[in-house]
């Protein structure tokens, strides 16, 4: 399943491999806590997580923690933590003595104290293929909004300023046949390139680490950063 099949354990400590705490099945019945899984007063559905965890006889608890203090107080008995971006600090990990692993939804894991996890023998897991498609879709949406002045025209129409809306339409930027420059051609950048081709965009890219064969497979023509800045009609930056 999309959120779970891409889980990759970070190389924190080899000691975790010997105790069987998170590499296979959890001993029944363990508590897995999504510590920042509330939208207002309502918990996220987390249907996929519940289904996967039920298969290994583990229960899912959803909390709305945002601070160290809330994590320590509310997730103290968690055997594993799922998080979107809660501060999993060394202090938190030291207080959550039952916690065996932390799963971060997303590629980055800067909200998790890796040194603290190492010191407490806690496995940290990220999701390296998280949201490639949707981030690329969002970039396409922003490009179209920019080219077609969607936000500006919408604002004028909502104010009944029809004449002004008509006046600002020209010049209306084209998309088909234009050049999209992608700075940073990693997973998201390459996904964007494939989507951009559907709109008839010529895609060029700058990434000093991009292999020529990988670029070709994604439909990206590698160029220097200077050339990209000079020739692109639109630029999308995907670096960290």
The DSSP string of 119-162 is HTT-EEEE-TTTTHHHHHHHHHHHHHHHHHTHHHHHHHHHTT-H
Determine the Cα–Cα distance for residues 90 and 192; give it in Å rounded to an integer. Answer: 37
* Model pLDDT, residue 89: 97
**What is the mean predicted confidence (pLDDT) over 99-104?**
97
**What is the mean predicted confidence (pLDDT) over 15-42?**
69
> Chain-wide mean pLDDT for the chain?
89
pLDDT band at 16 (very low <50, low <70, confident <90, very high): very low
Indicate if the pLDDT at residue 8 is higher than 90: no
Indicate if the pLDDT at residue 195 is higher than 60: yes
- Taking alpha carbons only, the member of 73, 85, 79, 86 closest to residue 60 is 79
Kindly give, in sequence order, each residue whose CB lies less than 8 Å from that of residue 206, ignoring residues fewer than 6 positions away: 181, 182, 183, 184, 185, 222, 223, 224, 225, 228
Model pTM score = 0.72
**What is the mean predicted confidence (pLDDT) over 165-171?**
92
Indicate if the pLDDT at residue 111 is higher than 80: yes
Indicate if the pLDDT at residue 126 is higher than 90: yes
């Amino acid at each position: 399943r999309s959120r779970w099949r891409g889980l990759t354990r970070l190389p924190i400590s080899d000691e975790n491999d010997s105790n069987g705490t998170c590499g296979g099945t959890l001993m029944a019945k363990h508590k897995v806590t999504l510590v920042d899984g509330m939208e207002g007063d309502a918990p996220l559905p987390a249907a996929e997580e519940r289904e996967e965890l039920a298969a290994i006889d583990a229960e899912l608890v959803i909390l709305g923690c945002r601070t160290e203090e809330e994590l320590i107080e509310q997730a103290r008995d968690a055997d594993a933590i799922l998080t979107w971006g809660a501060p999993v600090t060394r202090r938190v990990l030291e207080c959550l003595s039952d916690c065996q692993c932390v799963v971060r939804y997303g590629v980055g894991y800067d909200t998790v104290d890796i040194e603290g996890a190492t010191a407490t023998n806690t496995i940290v897991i990220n999701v390296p293929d998280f949201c490639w498609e949707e981030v690329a879709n969002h970039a396409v949406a922003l490009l179209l909004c920019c080219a077609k002045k969607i936000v500006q025209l919408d604002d004028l129409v909502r104010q009944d300023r029809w004449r002004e809306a008509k006046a600002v339409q020209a010049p209306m930027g084209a998309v088909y046949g234009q050049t999209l420059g992608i700075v940073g051609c990693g997973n998201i950048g390459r996904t964007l390139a494939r989507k951009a081709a559907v709109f008839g965009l010529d895609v060029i890219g700058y990434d000093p680490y991009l292999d020529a064969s990988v670029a070709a497979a994604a439909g990206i023509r590698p160029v220097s950063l200077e050339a990209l800045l000079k020739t692109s009609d639109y630029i999308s930056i995907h670096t960290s």
